[in-house]
């Protein structure tokens, strides 16, 4: 089964709930190795997405994704604003005119999005950023889509990989972003950006599983 627009809209709504619920937690993670604003930033950004969503809900998926990206870009701020903004916008540019996504479309969306994160932040693997989550997740999704799979199977395959990648950020020493100023003191903490990215995948799995 492909992923339809209603599921996309539900996903965004649930993400808003998740970021409201996890606001304190994400901010605590960011307090440990950053500047204690990541949860606040994400919560504010998705709140704005919810305000904008009704104006584009009946448009195509590309338009919805682009609107999400532009809204995050102009409301999140910090490092994660341009990174997530670019992520969703790249997907939107790719999926113009679509009303549902086959597994291949979905994986292309993630691939374009991760490409956007790379372009904007120029992270390298092991720098302790959200890219350390997205890189293995994208690989897992591509592998699963190669089996001509359903979107839910693609996301299912990615979830345990994401879970592991998230935990794997803990022992890393940050080399990008604010956390890098801590040097070795950044070791032993989970990356906040990787954590907010993990929620995107986990929440989508819940939505698709119904």
Ligand X SMILES: Nc1ncnc2c1ncn2[C@@H]1O[C@H](COP(=O)(O)OP(=O)(O)OP(=O)(O)O)[C@@H](O)[C@H]1O
Contacting range for ligand X; rule: CB under 6 A; set: 2-10, 55-63, 145-153, 187-195: 187-195
Distance in Å, CB of 30 to ligand X, minimum = 5
Kindly state the tokens that stand for 47.
Answer: 């709140």
Per-residue contact string for residues 52-91; x = within reach of ligand X by CB under 6 A: -------------------------xxxx--x--------
Chain-centre distance of CA 143, in angstroms? 19
Which of 8, 29, 34, 63 touches Mg ion (CB under 5 A)?
34
Strands (E) in the chain, as ranges, are: 3-4, 100-101
Work out what residue 67 binds among Mg ion, ligand X, other proteins, none; the CB cut-off runs from 5 to 8 Å by kind.
Answer: none
Kindly state the tokens that stand for 144.
Answer: 């699963």
Please tell me the distance from the alpha carbon of residue 154 to that of residue 60, in angstroms, as a whole number: 22
Residue indicated by tokens 């879970």: 163
Kindly state the tokens that stand for 100.
Answer: 């549902």
SS3 95: coil
Kindly state the tokens that stand for 130.
Answer: 């959200």
- 26: Cβ contacts below 8 Å, ≥ 6 apart: 19, 38, 39, 42, 192, 195, 196
Work out what residue 183 binds among Mg ion, other proteins, ligand X, none; the CB cut-off runs from 5 to 8 Å by kind.
Answer: other proteins
Contacting range for ligand X; rule: CB under 6 A; set: 6-14, 29-37, 56-64, 139-147: 29-37
Kindly state the tokens that stand for 133.
Answer: 């989550």
Which of 17, 25, 55, 74 touches other proteins (CB under 8 A)?
74
Task: Give yes or no for a contact between 169 and 196, defined as CB atoms under 8 angstroms apart.
Answer: no
Which of 7, 16, 41, 108 touches ligand X (CB under 6 A)?
41
What is the binding site for ligand X (CB under 6 A)? Answer: 30, 34-35, 37-38, 41, 77-80, 83, 117, 121, 123, 129-131, 176-178, 191-194
What is the binding site for other proteins (CB under 8 A)? Answer: 27, 31, 34-37, 40-41, 44, 73-83, 85-86, 120-121, 173, 175-178, 180-183, 185
């Amino acid at each position: 089964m492909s992923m339809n627009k209603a599921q996309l809209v539900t996903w965004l709504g649930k993400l808003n709930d998740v970021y409201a619920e996890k606001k304190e937690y994400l901010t605590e993670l960011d307090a440990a190795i950053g500047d204690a604003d990541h949860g606040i930033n994400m919560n504010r950004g998705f709140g704005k997405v919810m305000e904008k969503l009704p104006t584009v809900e009946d448009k195509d998926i590309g338009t919805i994704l682009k609107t999400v990206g532009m809204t995050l870009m102009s409301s999140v701020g910090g490092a994660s604003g341009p990174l997530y903004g670019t992520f969703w916008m790249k997907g939107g540019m790719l999926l113009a005119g679509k009303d549902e996504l086959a597994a291949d479309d979905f994986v292309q969306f993630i691939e374009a999005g991760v490409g956007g994160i790379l372009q904007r932040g120029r992270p390298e693997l092991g720098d302790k950023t959200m890219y350390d989550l997205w890189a293995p997740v994208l690989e897992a999704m591509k592998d699963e889509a190669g089996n001509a799979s359903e979107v839910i199977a693609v996301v299912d395959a990615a979830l345990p990989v994401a879970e592991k990648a998230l935990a794997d950020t803990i022992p890393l020493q940050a080399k990008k972003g604010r956390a890098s100023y801590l040097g070795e003191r950044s070791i032993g903490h989970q990356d906040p950006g990787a954590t907010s990215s993990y929620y995107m995948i986990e929440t989508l799995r819940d939505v698709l599983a119904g």
